[in-house]
Structure formats: structure tokens, C-alpha cells
Amino acid sequence: MAEWSHFNEQGRAKMSDVSGKEQTKRTAVARAVVRMKPETLSAIQEGRVKKGDVLAVAQVAGVMAAKRTPDLIPMCHTIPLTHVDLRFFPRESEGRRDFAELEIESEVSTVASTGVEMEALTAVSVAALTVYDMCKAIDRAMEVTSVYLLEKSGGKSGDYRRDEPRRRNGV
Amino acid sequence: MAEWSHFNEQGRAKMSDVSGKEQTKRTAVARAVVRMKPETLSAIQEGRVKKGDVLAVAQVAGVMAAKRTPDLIPMCHTIPLTHVDLRFFPRESEGRRDFAELEIESEVSTVASTGVEMEALTAVSVAALTVYDMCKAIDRAMEVTSVYLLEKSGGKSGDYRRDEPRRRNGV
Amino acid sequence: MAEWSHFNEQGRAKMSDVSGKEQTKRTAVARAVVRMKPETLSAIQEGRVKKGDVLAVAQVAGVMAAKRTPDLIPMCHTIPLTHVDLRFFPRESEGRRDFAELEIESEVSTVASTGVEMEALTAVSVAALTVYDMCKAIDRAMEVTSVYLLEKSGGKSGDYRRDEPRRRNGV
Amino acid sequence: MAEWSHFNEQGRAKMSDVSGKEQTKRTAVARAVVRMKPETLSAIQEGRVKKGDVLAVAQVAGVMAAKRTPDLIPMCHTIPLTHVDLRFFPRESEGRRDFAELEIESEVSTVASTGVEMEALTAVSVAALTVYDMCKAIDRAMEVTSVYLLEKSGGKSGDYRRDEPRRRNGV
Amino acid sequence: MAEWSHFNEQGRAKMSDVSGKEQTKRTAVARAVVRMKPETLSAIQEGRVKKGDVLAVAQVAGVMAAKRTPDLIPMCHTIPLTHVDLRFFPRESEGRRDFAELEIESEVSTVASTGVEMEALTAVSVAALTVYDMCKAIDRAMEVTSVYLLEKSGGKSGDYRRDEPRRRNGV
Amino acid sequence: MAEWSHFNEQGRAKMSDVSGKEQTKRTAVARAVVRMKPETLSAIQEGRVKKGDVLAVAQVAGVMAAKRTPDLIPMCHTIPLTHVDLRFFPRESEGRRDFAELEIESEVSTVASTGVEMEALTAVSVAALTVYDMCKAIDRAMEVTSVYLLEKSGGKSGDYRRDEPRRRNGV
């Protein structure tokens, strides 16, 4: 098993040393899925045009959270981000007719000596929680059913791609 | 369907008005589940004694994140928290032998005019992401498979309890 | 002239003592005006439906900034906010045909021992700067031409109302 | 009209991609003007020597706010700042004898792949609000009458200079 | 020995539960001492009048840090502060002629269900570090030789007073 | 005496200009000492195995505080940190049998155009305050008896090494 880069010889957590690593372009894509009642998803989708845009708020929350990642994840490096974007994909829930799903996908880039996986994961997590916050009065049982890294590129540890397609359209 | 308390008459998001609501004790319990390779979970459990305590870092991250919730969730009220705690429960993954699971449970309280669901959810989300960050070098495919509200009490909207037991022991 | 409540006997700034003041409901309304080219304002207004909603971002930025006020204004008290809202009012520029104006109005409330003027002013200031940021690529000469307190109520210093009407409709 | 670099193809706000842009020195100068009663300005000017230095507080607030800009302006990039400075220029109000004005000028630099206009504008905005906060007990009708970009240099979009002189002396 | 209120039954840190404690006025006074070369202290003292006021910056930093305490000290409660003040006392170093000392004293109050010792200690610590930062170019060997709680009052655990006098004058 | 790089020609604090300085590796090591009752230190040391790990919390607090330094120290530059680590060394108090001491040592690195002394000092200060917070219920008279820079390297101002050894083992 690989060693723990996040612990020192006292067995205490540290921010791992990336001083000697090259500054290269690095990108990460993450995804979160929020499961809700079909009528909640409909309300979100209609809201954009009429009553209030839940996803616009979640979008801003996700972008800002990406920037706050080193304030939240203790051993995460502080790096300047060069790109943050989130996209939303509503869909029927796989295998469960009584639920709909909102998929949230983030893409984060930097030119730095370490990667941005945590920034991408934090962005979708906070966007998902924001959707929950905005809709909890109408659907308290909403659940985030998935948060994971979809792909990353750049850096010495090489590229990673989870065996799942990226979405192309959305709302 | 209930009205959107988070939008104004321009259809734009607002922090809903709780000025007239009574300040009472409110509690929320949330849960996140992180799915990982069984050897990753073993490494976490052994680490506490020997090499480095991943969960101690996640614990601190979760408590601090609960306090930062209004900075992250745009329409969330700023309220003083009177209690934040997180507990960890390792277990075999239900139905999938090739995975183990770490369950993270938070409990947050306040005496205020609005609830702390978002604080409890943010605490477990950030704790889960911290576990990911600390272990990603050895298991990049880790996934947060669930983030949800387990129960809440206090406030005019009444108590809520998801149909699932709370854990009693853990690590 | 009233004494400086924000300086101690060493002539150094302090956060004034409100320990003995009663916790009552306090509200403040502030306004900012952003002057821009008429076609910039048109682009903002059309964007909501078609290409991207500048004001949705400014709205979120303003609400979040209200919560961050004590982090920004050094001698400002940390108080829980019970309500934050912003509204936008596009209009022709008074007296200058070559400009259009976007008026931003915030309303902030608390139940606390001190007022929320600074929170209301910070909300509209940051919302105005966000409009600038989102549109600067198409109109770098945009200018915030006004930021002021429109009214405040509650607290021992009494109510204040600037001699100007509040807007009622908007976008 | 130039395209909106801050929106994605879903029409949602994003942090625009500057990954491929060169890291060069970039500077921005911004200005805010605060209008107040002449006796308020006198009190500020005398305070430095005797009772308490309002502008020292505003100075610190402005420098710190420049550093917090990406936390406030949602789509603003996180970049390391290499220089932040603010200067204050008291003067009689143009065309209105019953008012005096305090002009606040910021200069911000970076070596990065994007500019610092928002940092310069945020610095003067927060400094102006701090002046308001420190003096509001004696002059609640103070007003920020102007916040704008004075000049910027560096970067591919070229230099910009508003048709106004920069101040040279001050307090 | 008293029990650890900051650990749960899993042996992990928590924010202790103060939900049931009464909201009363609580005050804490803390002190930090910075030891420096006598000429550094002279430069600080002269600077106020002539070249630049180091202590004005330290004052603002200390007040702002008091407000940020729950963001820094992991298990510290988020409470609204009703008063923060710092005072500075230059003096000769006790027993060492080659050093001078700057004493920094903070006083912090709240009306809350828990005390403000950490806020008072954080305020003087950050003020002391700010003095170091502002003067390090001329005296890198400066040292914070003491940070401690001087007194606290209010709350169930009773009053505490260290056996040392509080200062009355200063700069 | 060297000039004040942190003041402008108005005698007001500024963030000094490092735009033209080369980006090189810079490291700083700082130390804080916390004096406490011997039984408090014993409780901390035993706690790691049994009841709760005070130092794990202090470790995380110190690392996170290093990243927050520019938010705390007003004129401090915002730079990306490439490494942060803290170590703890318990020992008997020199010359005073009734006290024990916990020494906290931080090491911080960056590749930037300015140094990280303040980050290293902030890390140990906040770690020390966290130890105080976690143990104050059992030993309110704990005192931070020292915070200082131990060494720094890199940058034009040259290396600095205080005449004291660095520790090699610890807990």
C-alpha cells in the first residue's frame, strides 16, 4: 500500500510537501447526484423561468465553495484556480420510479504543483447541499446519493477516469 | 406545494425572514456514508493507533465546517451553534463484498429562531470529503454514497425522523 | 458633536460596547446605483431569459456579503441576521441620455443589540461590484454612482429615513 | 457586443478559464469618493493627531478586503496579490458647498494570468464603508458618490485609463 | 481531574454542549508581551506621529481576529461579541536592559451561554504577530514572551483573576 | 535603521510591493512553548491513546491557521503554501519543577516572491491557543511563554537562524 503522504513521522497530519513539483495544468471533474421527488425536480426546472432559479444559487455556491476548499479540507493546499464551472443534468432516477435525480458536474482547473480533485468534489457537494437548502421546505427527504471524482488529468500521478460517461446537455 | 420561502417577489433568492420566530432549542442529525476498499478502511482503523489518525482530522474538519455553513450555503442564516459532534461507524458494505463503508453521523444544536439541518449536513459532507482527501493516494475511487438528514427537532415545522436507526457505537 | 463610540481612551479603534443594550428587532435598507451604457443594461435584462442571469449572481453575492460584513468592516459587531433580501430596478439615467442605471436595494433585519446598517450597505456594494465584474468585459467604464442608507428602524438612536422613495417593482 | 466570458453554454455563471493565459504583471487603480458634512471631514482629519485615526482603520480594512475579493465576488479568480496600497485625499465637494469629500484611491498589483480590477474596486469600496461605519454616529447621511476603475495595465485586453488625473498628495 | 468537556465517548473532539446554559454577560481580559530591541519600540512609538502607526494596524488586526476566533480554534463556539478593545503598554523589559517590551491587553465581552477567553487570547496573539510582521524587517529576533488569560467573569465556572495587576495607561 | 517597507508616503500601512521579486523556494520554522501543570501535560500525553487527542486537534488548527494567515495579519501577502507541518515536544520546564512544557514547532514552505515567517508563527500560535482551549477546564493558568521564529531560508534578505537547536523527536 502506498504511504500516507498526509502524515508526518509523529503520526500527525500535515500538508504534504509539493515544493519541488512542477507547476503544470491540472484538471478535475467531479459529480454529485441529488435524489428527490419528481415534483421537486419539476419545480426546480419550472422555477428558472417563473418563480426563482434554485440552480442559479447552487451554481454560485459551488463556484465559491471551490475557492474555499483549502479553508474546509484541512490538509488541502492553497492554489490559485484558473477555471471553475458547474453543469446540471435532471433525469429520471435509475430503477426507482418514485424518484427523480439531479446530477451536478463540476470542472476545475489550475496551473499548479498539485491537483484540484478536492476543489471539484467540494464544488459539487456544496452545490448539492444548496439545492437541498433551497428545496427542503417542500421535500425534506431529499438525499445526496453520490459524490465522486469522474476524472482528473495532469500531474505526476497520472490521469484517472472513472468508467462512466460525462454528460453533454443539461439545464 | 408549499411556497418557496427562499425567493422574493422578483423571483430572486433571499434569506427568508425569521425575525418573528421564537428562539428555541433546535437539533439536527445528519449522516454521510463513504464507500471504499476494505483495505482502506482497515488502514484508517489501524492508523489511529499507529501511523496517523484520518478520522481525527475529519472530525475537526466537520466541526469547523458546521460553523462555516452560512459562508457556504448562500441563503442559510447565521446562527450561534451550541453543540456540534461527529461520530464514525465503520462497517461492511451492504450487499457488496468488495467494499467497506464508513458512516459519519453529526449532531448539531442551537438555541435560535431557525434550524440547523444545513449545519449538520455540511458537517458530515466536509468530514466525508476530508476522509477522501486523506486517503485518495491509496484509493482514488472512494465515493460518498449518501448524505441525508436523519432527524431534526424543534421549531414550528415540527420534528422529522427518517425511517432509519441511529448508530450507538463506533470508532 | 457626538463622541466617537469607536475609539478608546488611547485614541485607538475599538468595537463599541453594546453588552447592556436590549435585543430588539432592527432593520436597515440601503441602495446602490450602477451607471452603465444602455446596451449593457439591455444585455443584463435579456440575459435572464436567454444567455445568463447577471443579477442572480449579484443577488447571491449580496446576500452572502451581508453575512460577511463583520469580517470586512473592522469595528462591526458579529450579529445573527434574520433576513436579507435584495431587489433590482433598471431605469434610464436621470439627466444623462447616454447612460442607463441599475438600482440595487437591500433590506436586512436582525433581533440584536445593535443595528444592521453596515450589513445593508455591504450587501448593495458587493452586489454592485459583482454586476461590474460580470459585465466589465463589455463595459469597463461602468461606475457605482451612489451607495447610501435609505432607512433604518429599531434601536435607541431612533429611526432614520432619507428623503427618497423606496422602489416597488423591478426585475 | 463581446461575448459573456462569465457564462457557460447552459447560461449559468462560471469562473472563466484563464489556464492558458500568460502570467504577467498586472496593476489596477480604483477610486471611491465619500461625501460628508465638512465638519465630519474635519473631525477625521483632526482625529489622526488627537482622538482616533478613522483612516488608519479604513486603510487596514481596504487592504484586507483586497485579499478577500475572491470570497466576495463570485466569479473572481483567486490570485496572489503582490502589492496593495490605499491613499486618502480630502477635498471640498465640487459644486456643493455644504459638503466635503474624501477620495480614496487604491493600487493593486499581481503577477498572474488575470487582472486585479475587482481587487482594487473592492479595496476602495470597503475602505469607504469603513469610513461610514466609524463616522455614522455623527453623520448618518454620508454617501459613497462614486466607485470606479481609474486605470489598469497588463494583460491581453490592454491598458485602460479613465480620463481623470490621479492624485499625488493626501493625508 | 475534571472531565474533558471537549471529547465525546469515541474519544474524539467535539464542540461541548452549551444549549442549556443561561445567556449572561461574560467578559475576559488577556495579555500578550512582545520583547524587542529598545530602538524598535522607540520606532513604534515615534511612528504614530510621524511615519506610520504600527499599533493602529495591530489594533485592527486584534479586533478582527477576536471575531474570527471560532474559525481558528476548532472547538470554540460561535457567539456574537458585544465588545472588543485592545490597549498597548510599552515598558522596559524586566531584568534585561537590552530589551524593551510592548504589552498588549485585550478585553472582550459577550452576552451568551459560554465565555470569551479564547477570543481575548486570540486578539492579543494576532495583535502581537502583527507587530512582529510590521517590524520584522528591522528586528527579526522579536519574540512573543507571554500570552495568558488575566481575568474572566460571568458564567457558571465562576470568576478567575490571575495574580497580576491590569495596566491603566498606555499608548 | 532599515526603512519601513509596510508604510506608504502618507504614513499609512500598505502591503509591500513584491511584484518584481523572484519566485524561489522559501521556508520558515517557528516555535511556541506552552507552560502547564505537569498533570495537564500527562493528561494530554495519555489522551492520545485513551480519551481524546488534544494534539491532533491542535495540529489541524495549526495547519489551517497557516493557510489563513493573510486573513489575519493585515499586511501579509497571499501566497500558495507548498508545505505545512507541526511537531510537538513535551518536556520538563527549565528551572521550574512545578511546571511542564509543551513545545510546538512548525515548518512552512512556499515557492513565491515573499517569505513565510508569518505563516509559521501563526501556525504555532493558533496550535498553542487550541491546546489552551482544549485543556482550560482543567488548567486555566496555562500560559504561552514563547512564540518566535527559529529559522528562515530563501529570499533576498538571506537566511536567519536563531541560536537554538531544532528538536528531533516528539509525540
Rounded to whole angstroms, how far apart are CA atoms B137 and C122?
42
If you measure CA to CA, which chain E residue comes closest to F56?
A: E13
As a whole number of Å, the CA-based R_g of chain E is: 18
Domain count, chain D: 1
- For residue F84, list chain A residues with Cβ-Cβ distance below 8 A: 14-15
HSE (side-chain half, CA atoms, 13 Å) at F72: 32
- On whether residue F35 sits in a domain, the answer given is yes
Binding residues of A for substrate: 75-77, 118-119
The answer on whether B118 is annotated among ligand-binding residues is: yes
Which listed residue (D53, D85, D133, D139) is catalytic?
A: D133
CB D61, CB D125: distance < 8 Å:
no
Strands C24-36 and D100-112 turn out to be: unpaired
- For residue D75, list chain A residues with Cβ-Cβ distance below 8 A: 63
Instruction: Assign residue E65 a region (left: φ > 0; alpha: ψ between -120 and 50; beta: otherwise).
Output: alpha
Give buried/exposed letters for C48-77 (b at 16+ CB in 10 A, else e).
beeebbbbbbbbbbbbbbbbbbbbbbbbbb
pLDDT at D130 over 80: yes
Which of the residues C19, C21, C116 would you substitute to probe the E interface, choosing the one with the greatest number of E C-beta atoms within 10 Å? Answer: C19
pLDDT for F2 equals: 46
Which pLDDT band, with edges at 50, 70 and 90, does D56 fall under? very high
Q: What are phi and psi of A60, to 5 degrees?
A: -65, -40
- On whether residue B99 sits in a domain, the answer given is yes
* DSSP element (H, E) containing C75: none
Q: How far is CA B18 from CA B8, B23, C59, C60, C120, in A?
A: 14, 10, 19, 18, 17
Which pLDDT band, with edges at 50, 70 and 90, does C2 fall under? very low
pLDDT for D2 equals: 46
Dmax of chain C from CA atoms? 58
Region C68-78: mean pLDDT is 97
Neighbours of chain E (3+ CB pairs under 8 A): B, C, D, F
pLDDT for A145 equals: 95
pLDDT at A2 over 60: no
- On whether residue C8 sits in a domain, the answer given is no
Which of the residues D60, D84, D126 would you substitute to probe the E interface, choosing the one with the greatest number of E C-beta atoms within 10 Å? Answer: D60
Q: What mean pLDDT is reported for chain C? A: 90
pLDDT for C1 equals: 39
Rounded to whole angstroms, how far apart are CA atoms B79 and C156?
24
| ipTM score | 0.95
- For residue C59, list chain B residues with Cβ-Cβ distance below 8 A: 12-14
The answer on whether B83 is annotated among ligand-binding residues is: no
| Residue A148 cell numbers, joined | 465522486
- For residue B66, list chain E residues with Cβ-Cβ distance below 8 A: 15
- Give me the total of CB pairs closer than 8 Å, taking one residue from chain D and one from chain F: 60
pLDDT at D156 over 70: yes
Which listed residue (E85, E133, E139, E163) is catalytic?
A: E133
Closest CB from D60, D61, D138 relative to C1? D138
Which of the residues D8, D15, D82 would you substitute to probe the A interface, choosing the one with the greatest number of A C-beta atoms within 10 Å? Answer: D15
Q: For the segment F121-157, what is each residue's pLDDT rounded down to a tens digit?
A: 999 999 999 999 999 989 999 999 999 999 999 988 7
Of B137-141, D91-95, F95-99, F154-158, where does mean pLDDT reach its minimum? D91-95
Neighbours of chain A (3+ CB pairs under 8 A): B, C, D, F
Which pLDDT band, with edges at 50, 70 and 90, does F93 fall under? confident
Rounded to whole angstroms, how far apart are CA atoms D22 and A42?
44
Helices (H) then strands (E): counts for chain E = 3, 5
- On whether residue A36 sits in a domain, the answer given is yes
pLDDT for C9 equals: 87
The answer on whether D76 is annotated among ligand-binding residues is: yes
Which residues, numbered 102 to 141 in chain C, qualify as contacts with chain E under a Cβ-Cβ cut-off of 8 Å? 112-113
Selection from E6, E27, E26, E25 nearest residue E16 by Cα: E6
- CA quadruple C109, C112, C113, C119: dihedral sign: negative
| Residue A12 cell numbers, joined | 500527525
pLDDT for B81 equals: 96
pLDDT for F3 equals: 61
CB E73, CB F133: distance < 8 Å:
yes
F142 contacts E146? CB cut-off 8 A: no
Q: Which amino acid is at E156?
A: K
CB A129, CB B119: distance < 8 Å:
no
Closest CB from E10, E80, E113 relative to B82? E113
| Residue F15 cell numbers, joined | 502591503
Closest CB from A8, A121, A162 relative to B132? A121
SS3 B147: strand
pLDDT at E2 over 70: no
CATH of the domain at A142: 3.30.70.640
- For residue E129, list chain F residues with Cβ-Cβ distance below 8 A: 72-73, 118, 121-122, 125, 147
Domain residue limits at D107: 24-155
A61 contacts C56? CB cut-off 8 A: no
| Residue D83 cell numbers, joined | 502589492
Rounded to whole angstroms, how far apart are CA atoms B142 and B133?
10
Residues of C annotated as catalytic (active site), given as ranges: 133
CB D56, CB E56: distance < 8 Å:
yes
| Residue A90 cell numbers, joined | 435532471
F61 contacts B57? CB cut-off 8 A: no
Based on the residue annotation, tell me whether B163 is a catalytic residue of this protein: no
pLDDT for A51 equals: 60
B19 vs E167, higher pLDDT: B19
Neighbouring-strand partners of residue B151: B29, B161
Q: For the segment A68-89, what is each residue's pLDDT rounded down to a tens digit?
A: 999 999 999 999 999 999 999 9
Q: For the segment D96-112, what is each residue's pLDDT rounded down to a tens digit?
A: 778 999 999 999 999 99
Region E2-10: mean pLDDT is 76
D144 contacts C129? CB cut-off 8 A: no
Give buried/exposed letters for D94-114 (b at 16+ CB in 10 A, else e).
eeeeebbbbbbbbbbbbbbbb
Q: What mean pLDDT is reported for chain A? A: 90
- On whether residue A12 sits in a domain, the answer given is no
D61 contacts E56? CB cut-off 8 A: no
Distance from CA of F58 to the nearest CA of B (A): 10
* DSSP element (H, E) containing D40: helix D38-47
- On whether residue D43 sits in a domain, the answer given is yes
Selection from D107, D110, D132 nearest residue D37 by Cα: D132
3-class secondary structure per residue, F117-159: HHHHHHHHHHHHHHHHHHHCCCCCCCEEEEEEEEEEECCCCCC
∠ Cα A89 A95 A96 (to 5°): 85
- For residue B82, list chain C residues with Cβ-Cβ distance below 8 A: none
SS3 E92: strand
Selection from D123, D143, D137, D133 nearest residue D60 by Cα: D123
Selection from D13, D15, D171 nearest residue D100 by Cα: D171
Distance from CA of C3 to the nearest CA of B (A): 31
Per-residue pLDDT of chain B (171 residues; tens, 9 = 90+): 346 678 898 889 999 999 999 899 999 999 999 999 999 999 999 877 566 789 999 999 999 999 999 999 999 999 999 999 999 999 877 667 789 999 999 999 999 999 999 999 999 999 999 999 999 989 999 999 999 999 999 988 789 999 877 766 666
**D23 touches C at CB < 8 Å:** no
What's E165's DSSP letter? P
pLDDT for A170 equals: 64
- On whether residue B9 sits in a domain, the answer given is no
Q: For the segment C116-155, what is each residue's pLDDT rounded down to a tens digit?
A: 999 999 999 999 999 999 999 899 999 999 999 999 999 8
pLDDT at D94 over 80: no
Neighbours of chain F (3+ CB pairs under 8 A): A, B, D, E
SS3 A123: helix
C16 contacts E59? CB cut-off 8 A: no
pLDDT for B101 equals: 96
Write the DSSP assignment of A65-130 as a string of letters: HHHHHHHHSTT-----EEEEEEEEEEEEPTT-TT-EEEEEEEEEEEEESS--HHHHHHHHHHHHHH
If you measure CA to CA, which chain D residue comes closest to E57?
A: D60
Rounded to whole angstroms, how far apart are CA atoms D20 and D26?
16
pLDDT for E13 equals: 92
Rounded to whole angstroms, how far apart are CA atoms F105 and F27?
13
- On whether residue F161 sits in a domain, the answer given is no
**D1 touches C at CB < 8 Å:** yes
Pick the most confident of A130-134, B11-15, C166-170, D157-161.
Answer: A130-134
Selection from B87, B121, B108, B123 nearest residue B154 by Cα: B108
Helices (H) then strands (E): counts for chain F = 3, 5
Instruction: Assign residue A21 a region (left: φ > 0; alpha: ψ between -120 and 50; beta: otherwise).
Output: beta
Which residues, numbered 42 to 71 in chain F, qualify as contacts with chain B under a Cβ-Cβ cut-off of 8 Å? 49, 53, 56-57, 60-61, 64
Distance from CA of D79 to the nearest CA of C (A): 15
Considering the entire predicted model, what is its pTM? 0.95
pLDDT at C13 over 50: yes
Which listed residue (A98, A133, A139, A159) is catalytic?
A: A133
pLDDT for D168 equals: 61
Residues of F annotated as catalytic (active site), given as ranges: 133
E113 contacts B59? CB cut-off 8 A: no
Rounded to whole angstroms, how far apart are CA atoms B32 and B37?
17
Which pLDDT band, with edges at 50, 70 and 90, does E142 fall under? very high
- Residue A151 has a CB neighbour count (10 Å cut-off) of 18
F165 vs D119, higher pLDDT: D119
Neighbours of chain C (3+ CB pairs under 8 A): A, B, D, E
Distance from CA of D46 to the nearest CA of C (A): 12
Q: Which amino acid is at C104?
A: I
| Residue C114 cell numbers, joined | 445593535
* DSSP element (H, E) containing A135: helix A117-135
Selection from F59, D60, F65 nearest residue E70 by Cα: F65
- CA quadruple E115, E117, E123, E126: dihedral sign: negative
Rounded to whole angstroms, how far apart are CA atoms F120 and F97?
30
Write the DSSP assignment of E77-120 as a string of letters: ----EEEEEEEEEEEEPTT-TT-EEEEEEEEEEEEESS--HHHH
* DSSP element (H, E) containing D113: none
Distance from CA of C125 to the nearest CA of E (A): 21
Closest CB from A60, A67, A81 relative to D13? A60
CB E30, CB E123: distance < 8 Å:
yes
The answer on whether D6 is annotated among ligand-binding residues is: no
Of C61-75, D24-38, E84-98, where does mean pLDDT reach its minimum? E84-98
- Residue C89 has a CB neighbour count (10 Å cut-off) of 18
- Give me the total of CB pairs closer than 8 Å, taking one residue from chain B and one from chain E: 61
Rounded to whole angstroms, how far apart are CA atoms D129 and D141?
13
D84 contacts F14? CB cut-off 8 A: yes
